[in-house]
C-alpha cells in the first residue's frame, strides 16, 4: 500500500511539472505569435486543451492520494508522507507566524528588483526566518521549499518560475515563541536593508496565516527511496 501511495504522489508531481512546462511554453508562444498564421493559432488551442486535460488528471490523482491517506492504517507512514508533502509545499498549511513586507521607500525610487536580486536580499531574509523558527515561507503567493528558485528575470524577480513584483510580502509560519521573539528583538539585517538601500521594511506577528500549496511542483532531479 505504501509503494502504491508513493507512486501516486510521484505521478501527481510529474503531471504538475508537465502542466507547468507546457503552460510556460504556451504563454511564450501566444505572446510571440499572436499575429501569425492559422496553423500557429491552432497549435496554441491544442496546447491549451492539453493543459486543461493534464490539470484534470493531476486533480484526480490528488483526490486518490487523499482517499488512500484516509484508508491507510499505518499512522506513522501517513505522518511521514504528509510531512514530506508539507516540506515540499505540496499541501495547504495554516498557523501563526509573521508577515514581512519589503518595498521601495517611495515612488521616485522605482523598481527595486535588480537591487533585491544583486544583494540576495530575499534569499538572506528566507535564511534568517528559518534560523529563527520559520518552517513554511511564502513570497507573494509563491511557496518556498529547498528546490525553489529566486532569480532576476528582466525587470522583475521570478520565484518558482513565476514573476512577482514589489512590494514583496513574505509570510512565515513556524515556532510561535521564536518568531515572536524575532519580531520583538528586531533584526540587524532587516535594519541594514533600510539603512543601506532605498527600501522600507515592515514586520508584524499574525495569529492566523494561510498558505496554498504549489500549483506547479518543482522539478525534482533525484528522489531517494528505501
pLDDT in tens, 53-74: 777 777 777 777 777 666 665 6
CATH of the domain at 110: 3.30.70.1880
* Residue whose C-alpha cell is 504538475: 16
**Range of the structural domain that residue 47 is part of:** 2-87
- Is residue 170 located within the same domain as residue 114? yes
Residue 218 has pLDDT above 70, yes or no: no
| 223 in any annotated domain | no
pLDDT at 30: 45
Same domain, 75 and 99: no
Same-domain status, 170 and 75? no
226 domain-assigned: no
Of 54, 49, 69, 50, which Cα lies nearest the Cα of 8? 69
- 44 with 33: CB under 8 angstroms? yes
Residues 44, 66 within the same domain: yes
Please state the domain count of the chain. Answer: 2
**Is 225 a domain residue?**
no
- Kindly state whether residues 24 and 52 are assigned to the same domain: yes
Secondary structure of residue 223 in the 3-state scheme: coil
Question: Is the peptide bond between 38 and the residue preceding it cis, with omega within 30 degrees of 0?
Answer: no
Give which of 21, 63, 81 is closest to 216, Cα–Cα.
21
156: closest CA among 144, 167, 164, 148?
A: 164
Question: pTM of this prediction?
Answer: 0.64
In a domain, 153, yes or no: yes
220 found inside a domain: no
- 206 and 120 in a common domain: yes
Amino acid at each position: 500500500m505504501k509503494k502504491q501511495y508513493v507512486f501516486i504522489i510521484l505521478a501527481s508531481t510529474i503531471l504538475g511539472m508537465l502542466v507547468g512546462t507546457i503552460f510556460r511554453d504556451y504563454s511564450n508562444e501566444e505572446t510571440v505569435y499572436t499575429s501569425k498564421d492559422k496553423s500557429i493559432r491552432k497549435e496554441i488551442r491544442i496546447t491549451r486543451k492539453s493543459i486543461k486535460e493534464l490539470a484534470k488528471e493531476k486533480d484526480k490523482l490528488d483526490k486518490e492520494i487523499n482517499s488512500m491517506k484516509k484508508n491507510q492504517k499505518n499512522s506513522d507512514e501517513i505522518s511521514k508522507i504528509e510531512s514530506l508533502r508539507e516540506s515540499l509545499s505540496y499541501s495547504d498549511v495554516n498557523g501563526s507566524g509573521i508577515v514581512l513586507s519589503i518595498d521601495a521607500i517611495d515612488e521616485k525610487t522605482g523598481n527595486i528588483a535588480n537591487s533585491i536580486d544583486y544583494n540576495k536580499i530575499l534569499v538572506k531574509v528566507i535564511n534568517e526566518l528559518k534560523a529563527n523558527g520559520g518552517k513554511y515561507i511564502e513570497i507573494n503567493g509563491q511557496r518556498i521549499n529547498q528546490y525553489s528558485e529566486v532569480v532576476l528575470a528582466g525587470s522583475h524577480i521570478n520565484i518558482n518560475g513565476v514573476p512577482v513584483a514589489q512590494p514583496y510580502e513574505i509570510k512565515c509560519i513556524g515556532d510561535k515563541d521564536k518568531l515572536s521573539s524575532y519580531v520583538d528583538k528586531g533584526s540587524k539585517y532587516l535594519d541594514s536593508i533600510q539603512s543601506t538601500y532605498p527600501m522600507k521594511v515592515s514586520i508584524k506577528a499574525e495569529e492566523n496565516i494561510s498558505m496554498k500549496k504549489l500549483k506547479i511542483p518543482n522539478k525534482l532531479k533525484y528522489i531517494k527511496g528505501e
